[in-house]
Amino acid sequence: MPSLSAPFRIATIYVATFLTFGIYIPFFPVFLAGRGLDATAIAVIVAAPMALRVATVSFLGTIVDRSTDRRRVLVVYNGIALLAFLLVWPANSPLAMLLAMLATALFWNAVNPTNDAIASVIARREKRDYGRMRVWGSISFVVANVVGGAVLARTSPEAVYWMMLGGFVLQFAAAFLAPHLPPAADAPVTREPFSAGLKLLGGDWRFVGMLLGASMMQGAHALLYGFSSLHWRAQGYSGDAVGLLWALGVAGEVTLFFLGRPLTGPLGARGLLVFGGLAGVIRWSASPLAESLPFWSGLQLLHAFSFAATHLGVMQGIATTAPERHAATAQGLYLAISGLVMTLATLASGPLYQRFGGGGFLGMAVLAAVGTGVVLAAMEPTVRGGRTLQPQRLGGGGSNVEPS
């Protein structure tokens, strides 16, 4: 039997991981509402794991980088998250639910940054297209949206828990497929201090500025993630329609990921981030006006740019600047910053939605606009012959590198 290729293995891991996300993001607030929690409590429980991410994911990413077997670490992270999620079912109060989700999120937060770190290393070493591997996670997310919406329409909110539990089991099993990665070519002869990667990456204000700007653009999705399903149901949409609206948004994302390098390569990291930020400003500014299905459908298609272009931009920016030996640390730093921004945005989205309903999306438009400004300031391009150059690789001592 022929061995499985590294891109196939990574794509399978993304499929399993995003099945869980595809239920959690749109439907976990519905599960919480079914348990009798109000909008503010839901916002706190959804935001708390993001706050935990800020404090822990950089540390967990450094553990991945220092390990001689990143696959083993990925398996352990998935296994602990699965066991912790078992605590959610018996949680019978807001505090118990909060504690159960914090226990789950402690290592779950580190799973996808580890996936992205492994995928980025494979893309760099084997000259593979990161988007072509990551796209299978988005396709999986769409399938979970549609199936989850259909199940929810025919059962009760309690079904959300069992669908998520199945996702955790699958992603734990898929982690065993992660490819083994030999030591990085830029690995030092002597072992670096534990904090070396964080000091190198966190000490560069342009790199941190890029991560902060991208985090603001992604954080602007907070009200969508936390309350759009409830908002659509309040407007009279069925569970099937809610699932399809989520699927439509991610379908646009899938298209951009699949087209990948030929379409996005000429823009470079900075161009992708600015494009994604401007799309977010348009999307969130128009959302308070949306009621009809065609209007919402058009706005959901903008997810291809407000999310996917932003994600590809920051992944390209990390890949062209962070040393390979600090790949997971760089991903962890990004997740820590984005976790802080998303936590604050999610905490704000509860009161915003409770007071203004769909009008709360205007706050998200402001956040996307500020993020775009931060990227423009931090990633001021150097131009040679009409082409934008990428930032110099940190710790590499080399010259700027043109985007491939």
DSSP conformation class of 69? -
Which residues neighbour 332 within 8 Å (Cβ) at sequence distance 6 or greater? 57, 58, 59, 60, 61, 62, 64, 110, 113
pTM recorded for the entire structure = 0.73
pLDDT tens digit string along 274-325? 999 999 999 999 999 999 999 999 999 999 999 999 998 998 888 777 766 6
Q: Please give the domain boundaries of the chain with CATH numbers for all domains.
A: 6-180+195-388 (1.20.1250.20)
CA 258 to chain centre: 17
**Cα–Cα distance, 264 to 273 (Å, whole number):** 11
pLDDT tens digit string along 128-165? 778 888 889 988 988 898 899 889 888 999 999 999 99
**Which residue, chain included where needed, has tokens 């595809």?**
22
**Parts of the chain with a pLDDT under 50:** 1, 189-190, 194, 382-392, 396-404
